[in-house]
Amino acid sequence: MFSAGGGRFYQPSVQYLSPTKTDRPIYTVTADVIFGRNVTRNGWLVVGGGVTVTRAWGEIIRLEGSISDGTFRSATYGSSATGVGASGLLRFEPFDIKGWRFGIETLGGFIIYSNHFPAGGDIYNFMGRIGPTVGVELSTDTHLRLSSHWMHVSNGQGLGPFNPSYEAMGAGLGLVRYF
C-alpha cells in the first residue's frame, strides 16, 4: 500500500516557475505546506489544504496610447511582490507501479501580496496550478514527490489593464510525511 497511518499527511514543497509569455517575464518561487488525507482506500485520490508563500519578480510590458495621436508605445513596468495565502490540493494518482505513483494534481489559492501585483493589478490574486506528478515511496511513511505545473495568476476581474494576469511553467519537489 502506498500510504501509511490512515492516509493523513503533511507535504512541504517548493517550486520554481518561469514565464510562458514574452510580455509577462515574471519568475516565481512558491513554497507550500499542505495537510490532507487520502480519500480512497488505496490512496489514488488525495485532498488537502494549507498555506502558500510566493515570491515573484520581473516586469510586464503593455502597449499604451493611441496610433491616431502618435502616443502609441510599449511601456515596461516592474512587477515584484511577496505573497501569502490559503491553498487547496486535489491529486489523482491512478497508476502505482512498484512503489512509483503517477498522476495529476491541481492546487488553487487566494494570495495576498505585499503590493499591487502585477503592476496595475490589486494586492490580491488567485493562483491556480495544474500538472503531472511522480511520487516514489522512500519508506512506509515518507514519499518524495516531483511535479511539473502550469500556473495562472489573476485577480479574477475579467480582461483588461485592471487584471494584468500572468502565466508560468515550472518544476517542484515535495516530501510527503504520513501520520
- Taking the domains of the chain in order of start, what are their residue ranges? 5-178
Which pLDDT does position 78 carry in this prediction?
92
Q: Which fold has domain 5-178?
A: Porin (2.40.160)
Alpha helix segments (H runs only) across 98-154: none
**Omega cis (within 30) before 19:** no
Can you tell me the distance from the alpha carbon of 132 to that of 58, in angstroms, rounded to the nearest whole number?
Answer: 26
Can you tell me the distance from the alpha carbon of 30 to that of 13, in angstroms, rounded to the nearest whole number?
Answer: 8
What cell was used for 147? Answer: 511535479
Instruction: Tell me the CA distances in angstroms from 116 to 21, 65, 120, 160, 165, one per residue in order.
Output: 20, 22, 7, 15, 12
Can you tell me the distance from the alpha carbon of 46 to that of 69, in angstroms, rounded to the nearest whole number?
Answer: 57
Beta bridge partners of 106: 90, 130
Phi, psi of 7 (to 5 degrees): 90, 0
What cell was used for 166? Answer: 500572468
Task: Write out the chain's pLDDT in tens, 179 residues.
Answer: 444 556 899 999 999 999 999 999 999 999 999 999 999 877 789 999 999 999 999 999 887 777 787 777 788 999 999 999 999 999 999 998 988 999 999 999 999 999 999 888 889 999 999 999 999 999 989 999 999 999 999 987 766 666 788 999 999 999 999 99
Which pLDDT does position 164 carry in this prediction?
84
Q: Which residues contact 139 (CB under 8 A, 6 or more apart)?
A: none
